[in-house]
């Protein structure tokens, strides 16, 4: 199999995007821990903020545990996460950071699929002259 010109650079860009998404996901995990600590704080009853944090954590867990395919399923869960209310700074940070990380992950996964398709195409097959990433 012969790689098309620029394919190596495109694969490298997809790898860089995937590494950035992974780093953002690690940072998001720290933000999630802050929200979890807020939600687990002892209190006489469940405050509105604690209930909000629980719902947010549930949305994050659901997205994280979802299968990677079909992509539309994760897109829907990501949209649901983005709609979650977050009235405290830690909750808003966790929601926004997680959403950003998963948006990057989905974009990197799509870019990787496009690069793989270009690399697997027969040498004479019609296709784009450059990688559409």
Supply the Cα-derived Rg of the chain in whole angstroms: 19
Domain ranges of the chain: 7-40+47-120
DSSP classification of residue 22: H
* Model confidence, pTM: 0.57
First to last CA, the chain: 21
Full DSSP string of 24-62:
HHHHHHHHHHHHHHHHHS--SS--HHHHHHHHHHHHHHH
pLDDT digits (tens, 9 = 90+) for 122-133: 776 665 555 555
pLDDT digits (tens, 9 = 90+) for 54-71: 999 999 999 999 998 898
Residue in 23, 49, 26, 27 with CA at minimum distance from that of residue 37: 49
């Amino acid at each position: 199999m012969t790689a098309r010109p620029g394919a190596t650079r495109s694969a490298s860009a997809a790898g860089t995007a995937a590494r950035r998404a992974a780093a953002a996901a690690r940072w998001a995990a720290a933000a999630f821990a802050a929200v979890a600590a807020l939600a687990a704080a002892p209190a006489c009853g469940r405050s509105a903020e604690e209930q909000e944090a629980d719902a947010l954590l549930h949305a994050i867990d659901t997205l994280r545990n979802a299968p990677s395919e079909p992509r539309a399923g994760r897109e829907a869960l990501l949209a649901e996460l983005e709609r979650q209310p977050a009235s405290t700074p830690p909750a808003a940070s966790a929601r926004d950071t997680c959403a950003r990380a998963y948006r990057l992950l989905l974009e990197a996964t799509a870019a990787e699929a496009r690069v793989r398709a270009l690399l697997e195409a027969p040498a004479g097959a019609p296709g784009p002259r450059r990688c559409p990433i």
